[in-house]
Amino acid sequence: MIIAQISDTHIAVPPVSGADREGDLARVIDDIHTRRKRPDLVIHTGDASNYGRPDEYAVLRRIMDTLDIPWIILPGNRDNRAHMRAAFGDLSWMPEGGDAPLDFALEDFDVRIAAFDSKGPRTNKGWADAERLSALSALLEAGSGRPTVLAMHHPPFAMRYAKDPHQFADWSHAERLADVVRRRACVKLLLTGHSHRLAESHIGNAPAFTMPSVATDLRKGEFRAALARHPAYMLYELDDAGELVHHELRIVD
């Protein structure tokens, strides 16, 4: 299975002066379509919009609908769950629930995809209190041990070179979340966003990644100068057992 990950598109209405976030996303999608080995799925790991407004999701939906392969979006701290449900509610993967946490799973592939909502109350950082950890455990256990890719917005691992390496409001939340993942061998890969930079780690035996923002004006970290105005996305190739055999940061020409 091949997965393309995009994140932190921050689509804004009206557009941000001096930025081309819609164009950045469109260029990434065009590049995905040119791949000789097409991804089976595109996962957007959140902060899809800048302010969580319906008109921003309408723009995002128009661009995402140009993809000719399946795609999903999960919420980031900038996103509004109710407005996301209104914009994408006709798609089979989008669960009902108003403003409730937006967790779901895809069972259509050889590798199961589990999307976990790490958006917290009144914070731009991640959240995984006891109630949310119980939801994560249930989400993973529902797969009956099938190899699983877990996707969420906030990275539950420390990023050594970031100004703020801890992206959960209470770092004990991240530590307990990591413990949940470690106890479940079914989790083969963890995909996150939020940091706007490339970083990787391991949680248990699962490789864990965060990636640069698709919105090129919001780049952070050591890739800022190298990427400049070239949008980027991540590619992951997994074998039949769900083990990661290849990954790369794809920079669009």
Confidence band, pLDDT 50/70/90 cuts, at residue 92:
very high
Q: Which domains does the chain have, with CATH numbers?
A: 2-251 (3.60.21.10)
Confidence band, pLDDT 50/70/90 cuts, at residue 178:
very high
Name the strands in the sheet holding 206-212, side by side, starting at the edge strand that comes first in the sequence.
104-106, 112-115, 148-151, 187-196, 206-212, 199-203
The pLDDT score that the predictor gives to residue 15 is 96
The pLDDT score that the predictor gives to residue 220 is 87
First-to-last CA distance in the chain?
A: 25
Question: Are residues 176 and 170 in contact, defined by beta-carbon separation less than 8 angstroms?
Answer: no
pLDDT digits (tens, 9 = 90+) for 106-119: 999 999 999 999 99
pLDDT digits (tens, 9 = 90+) for 4-52: 999 999 999 999 999 999 999 999 999 999 999 999 999 999 999 999 9
Confidence band, pLDDT 50/70/90 cuts, at residue 223:
low
Instruction: Count the neighbouring beta carbons within 10 Å of the beta carbon of residue 119.
Output: 25
The pLDDT score that the predictor gives to residue 157 is 97
How is residue 111 written in tokens?
Answer: 């590798």
Q: How many CA atoms lie within 13 A of 165 on its CB side?
A: 7
Confidence band, pLDDT 50/70/90 cuts, at residue 162:
confident
Which has more pLDDT, 13 or 227? Answer: 13
Burial (Cβ within 10 Å: 0-12, 13-18, ≥19) of residue 166: middle
Model confidence pTM above 0.95: yes
Task: Give the dihedral of Cα atoms 209, 210, 211, 217; nearest 10 deg.
Answer: -170
How is residue 183 written in tokens?
Answer: 């106890």
Cis peptide before 14 (omega within 30 of 0): yes
Confidence band, pLDDT 50/70/90 cuts, at residue 161:
confident
**224 pLDDT higher than 60:** no
